Amino acid sequence: MPARFIRIIKYHHVATMLIVGLIAFIVDFGSVGKVTGRTSRVTIFVNGNAVGVVENAEVVERLVTEARKKLARESSDLVLINCDIRTNEKTDVFNQITDEETIINNIYRVFSENVFKTKEPVYEVKINEFTVNLRTADEVLKLLIRAKSQYDEANEYSVDLIPDPTRELNVLTTSMYKTSESYNGENVVLFPKAGASDKFGRIFDSALKQDVSQFHFGVKNLDFGENVEIVQAYADPARISTLDEAIALVTKETEKSRIYEVEAGDSLSLIAQKNNTTIDNLMALNPETLPSEKAMIRPGDELKVNSPEPELSVIRTEEVYYEENYNKPIEYVDNDDWFTNESKVLTEPVEGFRKVVADITYRNDSEESRDIIYEDVVVEAIAKVVERGTKVPPTYLKPISGGRLSSGFGKRKAPKRGASTFHRGIDWATPVGTAVCASSGGVVSRAGWGSGYGYVVMIDHPDGKQTRYGHLSKILVKSGQSVKQGQKIALSGNTGVSTGPHIHFEILVNGVQVNPLKYMQ
């Protein structure tokens, strides 16, 4: 056989073996795929670091959780880390699968390198919008005891932390109670020595000998003025206070605003004293209600007050004895024919003297209420009796819309022969024909020519005042006619002694002109 054919046969033999080998490899690879069910591998990356290869992405979450647990077991604190977990799935049978323990350790190592904040367990104490963090429940109790101690010098009351019955979550609140409620009648001091002399004490004891057991002088009730919530949480170390810092924050007095309801017998000075403030501050906070120190206040009126208060207030009720000069509340006799700005004293007051047992409730150092539970009147007080009107007095409005104030009330240079140098009203320059309206309701007493006033209208009002409208061009009402406030009564003009189109307006009290601007709204 020629050598050329022998070489061709060899080449075909080699090619055939290569093809058969490749087919066998493909068949073998296919059988591996059938056995394992997969031909891919999943690489796990944590914060960009490859930590291992797994066969199934479904195990990644479990491995990450195990690494987290390992890190958490090293500290009781709350550990926060930067964590970015990704997977990359590729068909790569040559990439070796990493055992799970190695992957967990690799993830743990990356987590440890990326811890950015550690939060410590704390007891968070919340008082309204104020919050302070303490490390232990014992510190919370010491804080609360310190807050109440200045009002419980004898340490008669205890503080406990109890579950808050109004909350479903695990929230604690405070419970304050008297350490000993027992009373056997022995060693009871009815009156502190500073409260009355021994002699008067004996007299008063004798007067009360039938009811001695009902009086227990001193603090009767003590509680916090705000709802206190305590929850377990985690906080940055920088936001955790020491006990001394927390006490300073909770007991420090700051200005707080609240509403005070005026009581019988109150005056501005007494209200300021009760709220540890000044009359000037009361007026600044209530400019409409208190335009001046002489402004009238009545029981039931509400005033804004700012007073220094700690974050956690203490409400206490004390049963006390005192003696005092006192006045009875003013008695009023209503007169439906008088206006509310009219009054008359019918009986002058006489001060009395009495001995009193009272329950006084304080918010910190400010008195909030006083309940007299016993009084021995030595000298009976006589109440002041005042007759007062009930009708609302009429109001006075500008008689025209617009216009320019051209002449005020009082002295002036006579602008025209025949005009007075003392102007007894006010003038508004306005075009002829401007509508003139009744400043207040009443009865027209004059409507016609009025010499220097030109055409003029006068109206009598229920409070005894009169209004005059002068220099009119046309009158639209008649004498004796009743008019309402704002009703059109005339048109402005330039009649009588006048320097130009305007309306002249007067208000008269007891027949004498007064400055209208002091009476107009």
User: What is the residue extent of each domain of the chain?
Assistant: 1-32, 41-113, 123-179+193-247, 315-393, 404-518
409-423, pLDDT tens digit by residue?
887 766 665 566 778
Which pLDDT score is estimated for 418?
54
Per-residue pLDDT band for 191 (boundaries 50, 70, 90) equals: very low
Whether 509 has a pLDDT exceeding 60, the answer reads: yes
Estimate the share of the chain in helix, then strand, then coil, as percent rounded to the nearest 5: 25, 40, 35
Alpha carbon distance 148, 436 (integer Å):
68
Q: How large is the average pLDDT for residues 442-452?
A: 92
Other residues' Cβ atoms within 10 Å of the Cβ of residue 488 = 12
Residue 344 pLDDT: 94
Average pLDDT, the chain: 82
pLDDT of residue 35 exceeding 80: no
CATH number, span 315-393: 2.20.230
Radius of gyration of the chain (CA): 47
Inform me whether the pLDDT recorded for 200 exceeds 60: no
pTM for this one? 0.50
CA distance 247 to 144: 8
Measured CA to CA, the distance from residue 44 to residue 67 in angstroms comes to 13
Percent above pLDDT 70 for the chain: 81
Portion of the chain with pLDDT greater than 90, in percent:
40
Query: Does position 14 have pLDDT exceeding 50, yes or no?
Result: no
Superfamily in which the 404-518 domain is placed by CATH? Glucose Permease (Domain IIA) (2.70.70.10)
* Digit-coded pLDDT (tens) for 237-274: 888 999 999 999 998 887 777 888 888 778 888 888 88
Q: What is the pLDDT of residue 199?
A: 40
Residue 28 predicted with pLDDT over 50? no
pLDDT band at 289 (very low <50, low <70, confident <90, very high): confident
pLDDT at 121 over 70: yes
pLDDT score, position 342: 87
In eight-state DSSP terms, residue 239 is: G
In the predicted structure, residue 79 carries a pLDDT above the cut 70: no
